[in-house]
Amino acid sequence: MKQALIIYESMYGDNEKVAYAIAQGLATQMRVDVMEVSSAPPRVDTSIDLLVVGGPTHMTRMSSEKSRSRAGNEVDEEEWEPLSETGVREWLTRLRARGEMGRGAAAAFGTNLNEPRWVSKLGQASHAIARRLKRLGFQMIEPPETFFVEEVQGPLSEGEVERAHRFGVQLARHFAEAPRPHA
């Protein structure tokens, strides 16, 4: 059975919910492991057939150490759990620094504020993640997908968890129907 790995970054739990919904969709056809980026392996094992990476959009980009710190200052201390210094941006950068080049299929996802929608057209983490994965040599099997949240701290907009599940099913079907890409 094919193996998928989902790596996600989540500050308020929304990307985590999306990652697990995608995993449920993928699990219809593949084995799936889900890992928060601070626990992600330093290399993508050759046994991984599909790599799925996702993170939040901060100021129209992938999060950075500075943007994560700024976002942490926006919440009540009681609600905030310190994150590691590693986000998706840093993890992808470390893969490149090690010469880790893609050997297969990938997909990207992210979250973004629902309103105003025109702001999301300026930039989205999902698109930036997809560009980085392509530069690493992975072949994107679907366009990057963005899921919307109502406020900075969530919750996900209505129907987004279900849409994430459908995205996972779509990835699994696409992957099952197409020959495994080679970089």
- Tell me the per-residue pLDDT of 8-26, one tens digit each, with 9 for 90 and over: 998 889 999 999 999 999 9
What is d(CA 134, CA 39) in angstroms, rounded to the nearest whole number?
22
**77 pLDDT higher than 90:** no
27-44: pLDDT as tens digits: 999 999 999 999 999 889
Could you tell me the fold of the domain covering 3-177?
Rossmann fold (3.40.50)
- In this prediction, residue 123 carries a pLDDT of 65
Q: Which residues contact 110 (CB under 8 A, 6 or more apart)?
A: 15, 54, 55, 56, 57, 62, 124, 125, 126, 127, 129, 144, 145, 146, 147
Query: Which of 21-25, 63-67, 101-105, 126-130 has the largest mean confidence?
Result: 21-25
**70 pLDDT higher than 70:** no
